[in-house]
């Protein structure tokens, strides 16, 4: 089936890589795309898996903030395992080769996990404001946090369920795109991005005001100012990464659907979607670099037992469990799996290229 199409506005198919006229260019494009996406998947899966493993194994990390962080890591981990690899398949082929049933499942998981990831970031900002507020309790019960996490996932499931009503069966079975209905585009964009963004801005604004008041009214001014500077830096990184990764995609998506005369190239929409997925890789990196307790927990999960006991004696209160040892084993096997897939992919394209050369030399 010939699906070669020109670049148009909105969601359109690109020229499949296996139909490129230049075989060498095809191999180069496929290798670069596979390598970059494989690195992205590896960072997302490893980083978020370590966060989940750390919260699971160490009781001192089972606090209000880390319950939300663990939920965020779970959504990003599932996104890297279930959604992004299928997007890589579509990126390589230039069309959707897996049928409409898997397409519906893929799109629903994409909406569910992206919405849950964004709302978990929102709940983290709300919990920080709640803890710092003088009018609230200093400690929030873990049961309340678990209930809020369940509400986040239920709301994400509702947004996902509505996508089935808005889904339009395409005539071409090789197309797999999100619903183009305006009502659902507006609803999903507002409920999955713009509303959480407004809440996060308000929460972090309140946090800044609270810290400023504390710095003026306390005798431990230096300590409060240091805490304020550290929190502002972490907040700026999280908010900056979130807005940088997701705002362009949702803005371009709404512009394309609500402005008929506006032209948003398909390649730009595709790039912005991949930029949004990068937020799932940046979040664990930011938390790891800014949270010493996470770095210490990762040390126990990934390094030698005796070295960790000597470096962090106060943290190391229990022997390494089989689950902790499995964390390092899983990351090592995942790296081997990516390398084997890359080698197999290169070998397959070399065989295809040799077959095309042989057919050119010996035409029927």
The class (CATH top level) of 20-356 is mainly alpha
Using a pLDDT cut of 90, give the percent of the chain over it: 17
More confident residue, 166 or 305: 166
Does an H or E element contain 347, and which?
helix 322-361
- The set of residues, in sequence order, having a beta carbon less than 8 Å from that of 165 and lying 6+ positions away, is 184
- The arithmetic mean of pLDDT across residues 293-298, rounded, is 79
Nearest Cα to Cα of residue 185 among 203, 209, 166: 166
Question: How do residues 184-193 score in pLDDT, each as one tens digit?
Answer: 888 888 998 9
pLDDT in the model for residue 1: 31
- The arithmetic mean of pLDDT across residues 255-264, rounded, is 78
Which sequence spans correspond to the domains of the chain? Answer: 20-356
Q: What is the pLDDT confidence band of residue 210, given thresholds at 50, 70 and 90?
A: confident
Q: What is the pLDDT confidence band of residue 65, given thresholds at 50, 70 and 90?
A: confident
pLDDT in the model for residue 336: 59
10 Å CB burial of residue 128 (0-12, 13-18, 19+) is buried
More confident residue, 123 or 288: 123
- The Cα–Cα gap between 277 and 113 comes to 11
151, 167 Cβ separation under 8 angstroms: no
- The Cα–Cα gap between 10 and 16 comes to 17
pLDDT in the model for residue 353: 47
- The arithmetic mean of pLDDT across residues 336-354, rounded, is 56
Lowest mean pLDDT, pick from 99-103, 169-173, 205-209, 308-312: 308-312
Residue 5 confidence (pLDDT) above 50: no
Three-state SS letters, 144-190:
HHHHHHHHHHHHHHHHHHHHHHHCCCCCCCCCCCCCCCHHHHHHHHH
pLDDT in the model for residue 278: 92
- The arithmetic mean of pLDDT across residues 24-34, rounded, is 79
Lowest mean pLDDT, pick from 17-26, 34-43, 272-281: 17-26
- The Cα–Cα gap between 275 and 37 comes to 11
pTM: 0.75
Give percent helix, percent strand, percent coil of the chain, each to the nearest 5: 80, 0, 20
């Amino acid at each position: 089936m010939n699906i070669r199409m020109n670049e148009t506005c909105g969601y359109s198919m690109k020229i499949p890589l296996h139909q490129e006229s230049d075989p060498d260019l095809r191999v180069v494009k496929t290798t670069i795309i596979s390598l970059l996406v494989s690195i992205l998947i590896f960072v997302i899966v490893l980083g978020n898996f370590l966060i989940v493993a750390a919260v699971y194994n160490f009781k001192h990390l089972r606090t209000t903030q880390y319950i939300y962080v663990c939920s965020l890591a779970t959504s990003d981990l599932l996104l890297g395992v279930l959604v992004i690899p299928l997007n890589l398949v579509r990126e390589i082929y230039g069309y959707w080769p897996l049928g409409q049933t898997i397409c519906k499942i893929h799109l629903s998981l994409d909406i569910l996990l992206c919405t849950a990831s964004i709302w978990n970031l929102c709940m983290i900002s709300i919990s920080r404001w709640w803890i710092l507020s003088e009018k609230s309790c200093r400690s929030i019960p873990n049961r309340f946090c678990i209930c809020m996490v369940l509400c986040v996932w239920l709301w994400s499931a509702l947004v996902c369920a509505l996508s089935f009503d808005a889904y339009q069966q395409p005539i071409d079975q090789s197309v797999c795109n999100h619903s183009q209905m305006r009502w659902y585009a507006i609803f999903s964009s507002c409920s999955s991005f713009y509303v959480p963004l407004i809440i996060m801005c308000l929460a972090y604004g309140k946090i800044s005001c609270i810290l400023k008041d504390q710095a003026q009214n306390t005798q431990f001014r230096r300590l409060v100012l240091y805490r304020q500077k550290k929190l502002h830096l972490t907040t700026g990184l999280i908010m900056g990464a979130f807005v940088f990764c997701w705002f362009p995609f949702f803005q371009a998506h709404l512009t394309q659907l609500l402005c008929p005369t506006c032209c948003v190239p398909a390649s730009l929409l595709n790039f912005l979607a991949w930029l949004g997925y990068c937020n799932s890789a940046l979040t664990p990196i930011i938390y790891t670099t800014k949270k010493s307790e996470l770095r210490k927990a990762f040390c126990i999960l990934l390094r030698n037992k005796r070295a960790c006991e000597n470096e962090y004696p106060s943290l190391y209160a229990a022997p390494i469990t089989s689950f902790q040892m499995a964390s390092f084993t899983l990351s090592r096997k995942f790296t081997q799996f990516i390398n084997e897939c890359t080698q197999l992919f290169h070998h397959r394209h070399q065989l295809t290229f040799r077959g095309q050369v042989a057919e050119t030399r010996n035409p029927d």
